[in-house]
Structure 1
Amino acid sequence: MIFVTGGTGLVGSHLLVELARKQQPIRALKRHTSDIKSIERFFADQNATEFYKYITWVDGDLSDITKLPDLLKDIKTIYHTAAFVSFDKKDDDEIFETNILGTEALVNEAIDSKVKEFFFVSSIAAMDDLNPVTKKIDELSAWNNSLTHSSYAISKFRAEMEVWRASQEGINVIIVNPGVIIGSINGRRASEKLFDQNSIISKYAPSGGTAFVDVRDVVKVLLELVQQKIYNQKFILIAENRSYKDALNYVAKKNNAEIKLISNSTLKAIKIFSSISRIFGGKYLTKATYYSLTTKIKYDNSKICKTLDYSFIPIEEAINYHYSNYQKLISTK
């Protein structure tokens, strides 16, 4: 049996559809407050309603180690996609508890329960140093403690260390590091704000850039690696390196608009203001977040492209597809 965490999330929901299509029994972990009705609707949208029956939802929390033996009973394969994503310092405790301690507990029980395979969706945020030849970040890039990191980045790096520990105990491991994931599911996710024409990010962009990838590619590549049993390796999953302005302009031009660039000096002023507003419960723009928004970081996807002879969905095509889906989702509300 397969165990999936984060099944109500963007990657997890798409993964559940593809696993269920294979008619494999799946035990999916959720919080008791999670909305699985939206996942049922997503299955219907994907013409996969008949396969939803292969999923058994279980309420639980990875931090509750007393429940983990029952959750992993008869489980041979784990897909760990659950994560708490935030760049607000106020969320640090939950970030560390979910991403680090939750992964640690899951790995410990996976070892005790004799799980055979553990597949982890990490992030490019957990990777640092540039390859001196390509001037890009690749799978050999080390974690540089001298750099400024967000709490989220630290948590994903430390979670990876836990997963590698599982491999040292004989569990077959695969780690994938997606870029910023473009996708749609129910029109309410924070990641879907990219498509919201009334959102502030639909009007302004910082000067930096990063790597982007379609959620469909993330799931397809992961399952292909599993099928070919390419174990105990990690892979960067990105389609293109793009500036934030370029990526956002793909959405803006649909409404004959254009993204305006926020200067670094303006963003720095916002950073100072946010430090004050945090006292009164506002958002806090950290030094790490400021750095990521104003730096154009490039990532290298050549390893996965060569390993699987794979071609990623172009970013403009990905945005067009999910923008159309998002519009359909919000029109039915």
Structure 2
Amino acid sequence: MIFVTGGTGLVGSNLLLQLIERGEKVRALKRSTSNIREVEYFFKRNKSQEIFHKIEWIEGDLLDITFLPVALKDVTTIFHTAAFVSFDRKDENKIIQTNVDGTEALINEAIASGVKNFIYLSSIAAMDDLNPVTKLIDEQSTWNSNARHSMYAISKYRSEMEVWRGSQEGLNVLVVNPSVIIGSFDGKRESEKLFQDNFMNKYAPSGGTGFIDVRDVVNIILELYSKKIYNQKFILNAENLSYTTVLKNIADKKQKPLKSITNNSLKAIQIATNFTKFLGTPSLDKGTFQALTTFTKYDNSKIIKTLNYNFIPINEALDFHFKNYQNLISSK
């Protein structure tokens, strides 16, 4: 039995689809507020609605110690994709509780229940120091506690530490660190804000980062799982691109202008919390400001060499998911 957290999310739903198509026996976690109809609709759009019923949904909370033993009964492998993604300072407590405390509880029960394998979806946000030779961040990059980080980045780093603790207690663990995931699901996900009409998408910050298609993320995770590659971590990144390049691609599709925003202007937005709320944008913390104004590049050579993998070009990913997003919005 495979247990999937975050099954109603972007990565989780894509993962469920492929696992069920492969004939795996899957139990998926849902919260009481989760809407599995969107997942069913996702299966339908991918011409797999007839197998949606094969998912065993279980409702509960990772922080409920009475729930976890039931959830993990007969489970051999956990895919932990659930996370609370936010860069708004008002969500800091929820980010830590969901991402860190939830992962800690799941690791503890996985060990107690005799689970063999634990695959964790982390983030490039949990990685810092550049390789001095390549000037890229790679799998050997460590966490710089003196650097500025968003609370989301801190939560992913601390969650990784819980996962590696599990490896010391007998779990086979696999950690993947995807870059910014491009995807389309129900028009409401954090990744889909890239396609929305909002203040931040009209102004390109000066920095840049890595990007990857959600289909690549899931394909790679499952290929590593099928090859039983454990106790390693992998950066999953298709291309390093400036925010201007990505946002200009989307602006052109919308036939709308894109303007650059200076670091000083963005700093003013960070400081003027009430002003940003008025505009409908989150109040930026220092770590997020740093990420938006720095072009950080990531080394994907390890996963390419391990799997001989060819990534979907980001231009193709943007085309595919922008069209999906537009169809989703127009159908609602």
With the shorter chain as reference, the TM-score category is over 0.9
Opposite residue 89 of structure 1, the aligned amino acid is: R
For the 8 Å contact 1:193–1:201, the answer to whether it is kept is no
Distance in 1 (CA, whole Å) between partners of 2:19 and 2:58 is 17
Instruction: Output the CA distance in 2 between the equivalents of 1:31 and 1:188.
Output: 17
Aligned mates of 1:91, 1:85 — CA distance in 2: 9
- Secondary structure, counterpart of 2:233 in structure 1: strand
Please name the residue that 1:308 is paired with: 307
Aligned counterpart, 1:226:
225
After TM superposition, give the deviation of residue 6 of structure 1 in Å: 0.2
C-alpha distance in structure 2 between counterparts of 1:208 and 1:36, whole Å: 36
Deviation at 1:49, TM superposition (A): 1.2
TM-score, normalised relative to structure 1: 0.96
Aligned to 2:46: 46
Question: 1:275: how far off?
Answer: 7.0
Structure 1 residue aligned with 2:108: 108
Letter in 2 for 1:320: D
Q: Does 1:332 align with 2:331?
A: yes
Q: Distance in 2 between matches of 1:37 and 1:276?
A: 36
Identify the range of structure 1 (163-172 vs 138-147) with the bigger mean alpha-carbon deviation.
Answer: 163-172
Unaligned regions of 5+ residues in structure 1, if any?
A: none
Letter in 2 for 1:324: K
Deviation at 1:118, TM superposition (A): 0.4
State the alpha-carbon separation in 2 of the partners of residues 127 and 167 from structure 1: 19
Equivalent position of 2:58 in the other structure: 58
CA contact (8 A) 1:194 1:201 kept: no
Counterpart secondary structure, 1:235? strand
Q: Which amino acid aligns with 1:223?
A: L
Per the TM alignment, residue 282 of structure 1 is displaced from its structure 2 partner at its CA by 8.2
Q: Is the Cα contact below 8 Å between 1:275 and 1:285 reproduced in 2?
A: no
Structure-1 residue corresponding to 2:252: 253
CA distance in 2, matches of 1:202, 1:105: 37
1:290-321 Cα deviation digits (max 9, x unpaired): 11110000110000011100011111100000
- State the distance in 2 between where 1:237 and 1:29 align: 25
Superposed structure 1 runs of 4+ greater than 4 Å apart: 275-278
The residue number in structure 2 matching 1:296 is 295
Partner of residue 239, structure 2: 240
Residues 187-196 or 128-137, more deviating: 187-196
Residues in 2 aligned to 1:256 and 1:193: alpha-carbon distance in whole angstroms: 17
Q: Percent identity?
A: 61
1:283 is displaced (CA, Å) by: 3.7
Deviations 1:115-134 (A, max 9, x none): 01100000000000000000
Q: Render the CA deviation track for 1:200-252: whole Å, top value 9, x for unaligned.
A: 23321111111000000000000000011111100000100011110111111
* Equivalent position of 2:270 in the other structure: 271
Distance in 2, Cα, partners of 1:190 & 1:166: 29
Gapped regions of structure 2 (runs ≥ 5): none
Q: CA deviation digits over 1:256-289, x for unaligned, max 9?
A: 33421101111111112127878xx984211111
1:158 aligns with 2:176: no
Map of 1:1-333 to 2, 5 A cutoff? 1-196=1-196, 198-274=197-273, 283-333=282-332
